Chains A and B, each alone.
Chain A
Amino acid sequence: GAGVSQSPSNKVTEKGKDVELRCDPISGHTALYWYRQSLGQGLEFLIYFQGNSAPDKSGLPSDRFSAERTGGSVSTLTIQRTQQEDSAVYLCASSLALEHNEQFFGPGTRLTVL
């Protein structure tokens, strides 16, 4: 079956512009996660959705970052007024019910802020 998909694959933007990153989870997966991977670093948790609600937004680095999920499926991560330090790979993952705890990752979006 189809895995987690993300779009765009790569995004180059100018400092100060807004960007939207999209994630399509595996069908039927109720949990969805966003992570950020900066160059040479591990993955940093950003936000987690269970259905359409976000019980944990603790990882969002500033109020320029927001995310939503509609219909319990597709999620969009929005970064407003992008800064150069926002340049990173943004990875999305999804998982099944609580007891599984296995997250399946998408290929990520590489964001470059000039």
Chain B
Amino acid sequence: AQTVTQSQPEMSVQEAETVTLSCTYDTSENNYYLFWYKQPPSRQMILVIRQEAYKQQNATENRFSVNFQKAAKSFSLKISDSQLGDTAMYFCAFISNFGNEKLTFGTGTRLTIIP
């Protein structure tokens, strides 16, 4: 079974600074997808960024980028030039490549951007 671990329950950073959220996972599979989801107080889960395990290049989406280390089973999220609207819970998630199976989530990191 897959597991996802987020070891930082809470983080805070000054507006405009850069912050990195950590995520490690455990799987015996070689092909899979990794995601970072954002959950603001509205409860709506919003996909931030995704990474296919077979791609060596790290995914980027505007101010968001990942550091994917497959051998180390590490998948960290870097937020550059942080904004007040980035304040939210962030969840790391794993899904097998073998069809539409369940997402396995970490327990989340509560990120607060300080004005």
Q: What is the interface of chain A, defined by CB distance below 8 A to chain B?
A: 31, 33, 35, 41-45, 48, 50, 56, 59, 89, 91, 93, 95, 98, 101-108, 110
User: Do B107 and A102 have beta carbons less than 8 Å apart?
Assistant: no
Closest CB in chain B relative to A29 CB, distance in Å = 10
**Interface flag for B95 (CB, 8 Å):** yes
CA distance A31 to B102 in the complex (A): 11
Q: What is the interface of chain B, defined by CB distance below 8 A to chain A?
A: 4, 6, 33, 35, 37, 42-47, 50, 91, 93, 95, 97, 99-108
Residues of A within 8 A of B46 (CB): 105
**Which one of B35, B105, B107 has the greatest number of beta carbons of chain A within 10 Å?**
B105
User: Do A43 and B91 have beta carbons less than 8 Å apart?
Assistant: yes
User: Do A45 and B42 have beta carbons less than 8 Å apart?
Assistant: no
Residues of B within 8 A of A59 (CB): 102
User: Can you name 19 A-B residue pairings with CB atoms under 8 Å?
Assistant: A31-B100, A42-B108, A43-B91, A43-B93, A43-B105, A45-B103, A45-B104, A48-B101, A48-B102, A56-B102, A59-B102, A91-B45, A95-B100, A102-B35, A105-B46, A106-B44, A107-B44, A108-B43, A108-B44
User: Do B97 and A101 have beta carbons less than 8 Å apart?
Assistant: yes
CA distance A103 to B44 in the complex (A): 12
User: Do A105 and B44 have beta carbons less than 8 Å apart?
Assistant: yes
Residues of A within 8 A of B45 (CB): 43, 91, 93, 105
User: Do B102 and A33 have beta carbons less than 8 Å apart?
Assistant: yes
CA distance A45 to B1 in the complex (A): 13
Residues of A within 8 A of B103 (CB): 33, 35, 43, 45, 93, 103
CA distance A95 to B45 in the complex (A): 14
Residues of B within 8 A of A91 (CB): 43, 45
User: Do A102 and B47 have beta carbons less than 8 Å apart?
Assistant: yes
The 10 A-B pairs with the shortest beta carbon distances in the complex, nearest first, are A105-B45, A45-B102, A42-B105, A31-B100, A42-B107, A43-B105, A108-B43, A98-B99, A107-B44, A101-B33
